[in-house]
Structure 1
């Protein structure tokens, strides 16, 4: 049997790139998919592809950054297919600038689409699942968030994007801790793939090869996302996966490092030596992208 047979899935930003690959593979694995994208034509094309392959899907163009409109996405999934099991928060945008040149609008746009967008739709989905759980239903639901290597290590020229993606990584941890009681898991991923957001910036590196393995194809990321959305993934939560080509790993997040305890208040004059010693003892962080 297909791994997501009859599961109802919302994929945001599914009109192209990674979201398109996710939506199509979810449908191929038996899911009923709400293809959300602000580009109506792109969303309809993906729905047509899914239906032509024998799958089930509907298009949705509601704005994930508007709380009330995000509720309509969840409502459409339930009205169309009778339930909801998975939310894949994929939609994104870039407004890259060096920090000294970053405008308020650059900051707000990226925060709204990434961080607020993750909140809005997930909030409505969680309320639906919580009511199901309180009503005695055995909920087996999924939130799948999209962070980035920029959110884990930082990235030159992307302070707004890195801050949003770092926030999403932390959001994932808290969702996993709080929502397990309702039968909801929350995981994230930091994918590397050729999409509308990356193909211009990394055009040479991500260029599609004439033959052989297409390392940066969005389709390489989709199997992880579809598996995380399946019932088989019920025991996995609070994790952030990095995936690139055929490489798959679990990110090793922030943890308390070396510690010195004086047992009393530190003097200002002592702090410098203590910090120098702690830095020498700690494992160096990965370098910020672009340095």
Structure 2
């Protein structure tokens, strides 16, 4: 039987790759035969995360995803190292919680810069490369996966910046799908619920745990290792006719038509 999900020989750029979901994506990309370009702001975290990985198949890139020049350089470096870029996972994220009336301009902008502006910059940089390949006769296309959130579809008390950014990522997803479909470039988003990572420690704590778990039909938090399987599905040919979609991977936390 043909292997259903394979990334053999493909190069995938993953932002926020130093820990949590991003690190788990990189690990699975490598396991499925691909090359990984791991991007993170924290050099020490990224070094520790990639230390045990096959160095001939990993390129570590340190810097802010909100730096458009870094995005362009990273794509150029990836092409020089591996020949082409076939996929992108916009995963980098931060939180700066505050109620609307108390949120500072900096708290708002910091989150918008990383989640939404960063997604645009990296989508643009990788997309330009994929479009150029397509115009040059390479029909292999590519896949972009944006890590959004249920917060972008239903709001999130105390995180208007995060909810707005995640909602904006859905717009980037759909627009890229419409503009680049003719080049066989697919663009999808995944809306996670609560994944057990350092970024969700507060909402998994004593104050919020029981209330949130009561809204999840599967009655548990997601593990990074299980949710990233869906990411790699969308990156692979198993999802060759899937584009412009927002896939909920949330244990039923948000259910809609």
Q: TM > 0.5 between the two?
A: yes
**Rounded Cα–Cα distance in structure 2 between residues aligned with 1:139 and 1:250:** 34
SS at 1:147's partner residue?
Answer: strand
Alpha-carbon RMSD: 2.1
State the partner residue of 2:46: 43
Q: Name the SS for the 2:198 alignment partner.
A: coil
Distance 1:45 1:97, change over 3 A: same
Which residue matches 2:143?
142
Secondary structure of the residue that 2:143 maps to in structure 1? strand
- Counterpart residue number, 1:34: 37
> Corresponding residue for 1:232?
238
Q: Deviations over 1:81-110 (max 9, x none)?
A: 111000000000111100000111011101
The structure-2 alpha-carbon separation of the partners of 1:228 and 1:250, relative to structure 1 and needing over 3 Å to count, comes to farther
Question: Residue 16 of structure 2: SS of its match in structure 1?
Answer: coil
**In structure 1, what is the Cα distance between the partners aligned to 2:138 and 2:83?**
14
Q: TM-score, normalised by structure 2?
A: 0.88
1:61 aligns with 2:67: no
1:249 Cα deviation after fit: 8.8
**In 2, are the aligned partners of 1:241 and 1:250 still within 8 Å (CA)?**
no
Q: CA deviation at 1:215?
A: 4.2
The answer for unaligned runs of 5 or more in structure 1 is 207-212, 253-291
Q: Distance in 2 between matches of 1:165 and 1:229?
A: 20
What TM-score comes out, normalization by structure 1 length? Answer: 0.78
User: Which of 190, 196, 199 matches 1:197?
Assistant: 199
Q: In structure 2, list runs of 5 or more residues that go unmatched.
A: 211-218
- Specify the SS of the correspondent of 2:120: helix
Cα offset, 1:12, TM superposition: 0.3
| Offset from partner CA, 1:177-234 (integer Å, 9 cap, x none) | 111011100000111301121013323439xxxxxx9842111101000111112211
Instruction: Say if 1:43 and 1:59, in contact at 8 Å, map to a contact too.
Output: yes
SS in structure 2 opposite 1:197? Answer: helix
Bigger RCO of structures 1 and 2 (CA < 8 A, at least 6 apart): 2
Q: Which residue of 1 aligns with 2:227?
A: 221
Aligned residues: 243
> 5 Å matches for 1:34-183?
34-51=37-54, 56-183=57-184
> Is the 1:62–1:70 Cα contact (8 Å) retained in structure 2?
no
Any idea what SS the aligned residue of 1:146 has?
strand
Q: 1:63 to 1:173 in 2, by over 3 A?
A: same
Which protein shows a greater Rg? 1
- In structure 2, how many angstroms separate the alpha carbons of the residues matched to 1:138 and 1:250? 36
Determine the structure 2 residue equivalent to 1:279: none
User: For residues 214 and 56 of structure 1, do their structure 2 counterparts lie closer, same or farther at Cα, with a shift above 3 Å needed?
Assistant: farther
The secondary structure found in structure 2 opposite 1:93 is coil
Give the 3 Å change call, closer, same or farther, for CA 250–99 of structure 1 in structure 2.
closer
Is 1:239–1:251's contact at 8 Å kept on the other side of the alignment?
no
Query: How far 1:56 sits from its partner (Å)?
Result: 2.0
User: Is contact 2:17-2:46 (8 Å) kept?
Assistant: yes
Is 2:97–2:159's contact at 8 Å kept on the other side of the alignment?
yes
